[in-house]
Amino acid sequence: MKTKMVDSYNESLEKYGDSDFRSLNWGDKDGTSARFRYEQMDAEVSFENKSVVEIGCGWGSFFDFGFICQDYIGFDINSKFVDIANKKYGGSLDKTFYVQDIASHIDRNLKFDVSIASGVAGNIGGPAYLPEKLNDMLRKMYSISKTVLINFPSNRATTRAAGVEYFSPEYVLGTALNITNNVKLIHRNRFDFLLRLDSNI
């Protein structure tokens, strides 16, 4: 399933190239919806002066849209995307991109102010598409950061895309509440919602 997902992204990359956000399965060339989701996260917890880890960093979209932070590590299972990200933004001490599947391992000694995932949770074959994977992803991200921000496709969506898992906000909220009581769910439109978990410290 995971291999099929990576192959699908690589087919899109070959079709659209490394400057068209449709390669990352966003709706348009300019990545309008991707930018909106990052902006929503940044409005919740300003990235500036924070250490940030991104799960499913793609080719460095965070920086494509001009967001800034103190330190950044990005993980993605697609080596082609990570190669593009490192060519565009790597090579500095405060920006690093790695090929890594958090479903199999994440170094819990890493500590960040904010961990984010935008556009990755909904991938069928990705880190959250099954109940046990969702729980594992939330727990791992929570264990390495003060604040977790994840965007999920909502099962309230009236239009659906192939290869995308749509989540019940009630179920995601219940799963998060088994990890911490400090949870916020923002569901402002029918297409997706943002989940926030904060450390109780």
pLDDT digits (tens, 9 = 90+) for 59-73: 999 999 999 999 999
pTM, two decimals, is 0.94
pLDDT score, position 93: 66
Residue 35 sits at φ, ψ, to 5 deg, of -60, -45
**Residue 75 in tokens:** 């993980």
Average confidence (pLDDT) over 31-53: 96
Structure confidence at residue 200 as a pLDDT band (50, 70, 90): low
In percent, the amount of the chain with pLDDT more than 90 equals 75
- What pLDDT digit, counting tens, does each position of 74-114 carry? 999 999 999 999 999 987 768 999 998 887 777 778 899 99
User: What's the rounded Cα separation, in Å, for the pair 189 and 69?
Assistant: 28
Which pLDDT value is given to residue 161?
85
Average pLDDT over residues 24-46: 94
Residue 26 reports pLDDT greater than 70: yes
pLDDT the model gives residue 18: 93
Q: How large is the average pLDDT for residues 155-173?
A: 93
- What pLDDT is attached to residue 112? 96
191/37 Cα distance (integer angstroms): 12
Pairing of strands 51-55, 71-76: parallel
Using pLDDT thresholds of 50, 70 and 90, give the confidence band for residue 2: confident
Alpha carbon of residue 194 to chain centroid? 11
What is the spatial distance between Cα 100 and Cα 105, in angstroms, rounded to a whole number?
A: 8
Residue from 55, 35, 65 nearest 126 by CA: 55
DSSP structural state of residue 10: H
